[in-house]
Structure 1
Amino acid sequence: MSFADLGLTPELLRAVAEQGYSEPTPIQAQAIPVVLAGRDVLAAAQTGTGKTAGFTLPILQRLQPGANNSPSPARHPLRALILTPTRELADQVADSVKVYSKYLPLRSTVAFGGVNIDSQIPALRAGVELLVATPGRLLDHVQQKTVVLNRVDILVMDEADRMLDMGFLPDIRRIISLLPPERQTLLFSATFSPEIKKLADQFLRSPQVIEVARRNSTNEQVTLVVHQVDGFRKRSTLAHLIRHHQMQQVIVFCNTRQGAERLSRELARDGFAAEAIHGDKTQQQRLETLAQFKEGKVKVLVATDVAARGLDIEDLPFVVNYEIPNTPEDFVHRIGRTGRAGATGTAISLVGDDETKQLAAIEKLVKKTLELAPVPGYATARPATGASSAPIGSALMSSGRAAEPVRPLYPGMSPRQPEQQIAALFLPPRYQRTS
């Protein structure tokens, strides 16, 4: 199947071809015809499956002058609204809209917090057919009367489950109350949780349900690796893994802003090109850091869950859970940053003794056991509940046996000698033996 088989206009097909795409992904193949037909949609798909184009392309076609009684472009009433939970996702969706509408006489813009609201007003007052926005900033514009929602025909709630997690439900209800009751509503979510189903029951009309991945599943393209690590050794273990496997691009997730900032500073002192991205950074700082990461100037991006959704980084090979998320769904979203669009990736989790409950909750959600892989200097087997782990070195000394060569942890990677691996865990690079 090609994009031409989906009934898209020549202008959209030209824009898609210029991006190097020839065949639609499963979510695109299923969603585009349904959206073009004007039906409501409730869709669940893993991140990186192309869902943004799955709703952007048909929306742009429906907004074209002459299509479905669309008014003259000279008037530019707001007719399509895309809500996203984070600034980063809003920015990226807006970029996709710009790319795919390149040959169409349509206007679009984006509105999110973290920047001066006055900078967004001129574009809105000039008129746009499509607006991408975060809920809070959209309501700010509604209050200032720079946005009018009474002509909106199409509403998209992207990453709806994340919006619920972040407490946006009251804002969403208020926004929907300002929209025409006769509209098309598209709800996209990484998971079909009971809360999402309840939201769909309230705001969607006989939606077409689309699900292209197993419910609450992890991406089959991602290799999951779990290491049990003493909490005070996590940073040295992380540094060892980055060096040992020559990671040139990796996102490292922490649970708190302070933890992410501290870890990025420590990694920088260790000689890594590391930067942090979290909610305390200004929007401009976050965008600049993301740009440097994509360009390869920053090798290690230390992030909170503000970056767990929506970041579209091509061929990201590694993701590391430096701290295990308290919400198991966030684990799925974090590791979804790698293994995107058919590529393969590796997601590594460093589990401390106080994080076994979080790991068990993740295993229950994804319905699989996450086996521990060996790291030199640490226990290699899953401990019994409540038991503490002991370093491998202690066990070897008590048994009198010599350490065996350590096998590669990940496919295609060569192991070092055990003594070099252990040294890499605890010693600065200038003291390590390189023979």
Structure 2
Amino acid sequence: MTSPSVRRVLASHALASAAMSLPWPLLMLLVWRSTHSDLWLGVTAAARMAPYVALSWWVPRLADRLSRDRLVRATLVLRCALLLGVTVATAMDAVVVAVLLATVTVAVATPAYPALAAGMPRLAGAGSTRATDLLVTIEVASFVVGPALGGLLLAAPGLVGPLAVASSLAAWGLYAGIRQPRPVPTGPVPWPREPEGGQVPARGGGTRLALALLVVVNLVVAATGVSLIHLAEAQWVDAPWGWNDATAYGVATGALGFGALGGPLLARGGGPLGARLRRGLLLVTAGLLAAGLAPGLTWAVGPLVLVGAAAVAVEAAATELLQRAVPDDRRAGVLGVADSAMVLAALVGALVAPAVSSWWGARALMLLLALGCLVVVPLARRALRATPRHRGGLVAGSASMVNTLAE
């Protein structure tokens, strides 16, 4: 059972993270309507991820040098101010200013999650494992659920900015009074026990495979999300339900984003790690094919939910694979590389998708992405082979990543 302080920290991070992502579907739609430029649409989509690529190499170190609660509070205050600026700029049709302010919002928020994750063992005490798992779930889900909520709000775009600001203020209020002081030298965070049985990959091959899968999945999901604008405009506006382009794009974005919450449900199927990876990739492939060939939005919603859920399941299994393949004394560095590679892949997918969709059509892009996932399936089968696990390996890759940050 988590303590009241831990629950407040988790609720604060959930609200702040979702608020930061809310404006992006509206900003992308505004950029597309004002420019009809595939280049600027891709640049806007990539702007949301660029701060992670630029700052993830060094920003987490701030959480080991400064008072963590002050650092988090500073990011919350800055986010409130910047999101208020985004709201004003959007209302004044200053789209470029709004995109720039939203990008800076992402940049100033990058130290918050490492600070919260690193301070969780001291804050939560004996409940640190459960609290860390919840924090990781919130961090991963907010990246897709925030835009999903923002997409659904395109039916009432005037609410996007005020809701983002209000959520950020609520996050700041929840975090008030929390104390997470500057870290002190301590022993390593205990690693959870491994289950018996199962297969793990060979050391080098497993690391390369995990990185490859994380790159592929993040590129595919990002490219799919951007291509939904073209699909909504070209394929779904004239459907029997009478969707307009904004509503169709919002519903599709919501389906893809909220589908990510179903990732743990797919993981319940269990089985060897290689089988879970292959199953997830095949489900992503099937979902992309069904969404790309769907005659209307109504028929595409279910497959998009499947894509979101299966992609998260693949990412979780690939992270577990990475944790098992890398020895403990090198795990933090490899995880940093993996994190940067994932975001960079998503940035590239978002940047390239509009041009490919414009040249070949959005449906052709979806089929191409499905083919890319299908090609990777045999790679998982070839690279997985039984070897002794490294000591300190983990079952839950996401939890181990946070424990690594906390050391």
The bucket for the TM-score relative to the shorter chain is under 0.3
TM-score by length of 2: 0.26
TM-score by length of 1: 0.25
Structure whose CA Rg is larger: 1
Q: Which has the higher contact order (CA 8 A, sep 6+)?
A: 2
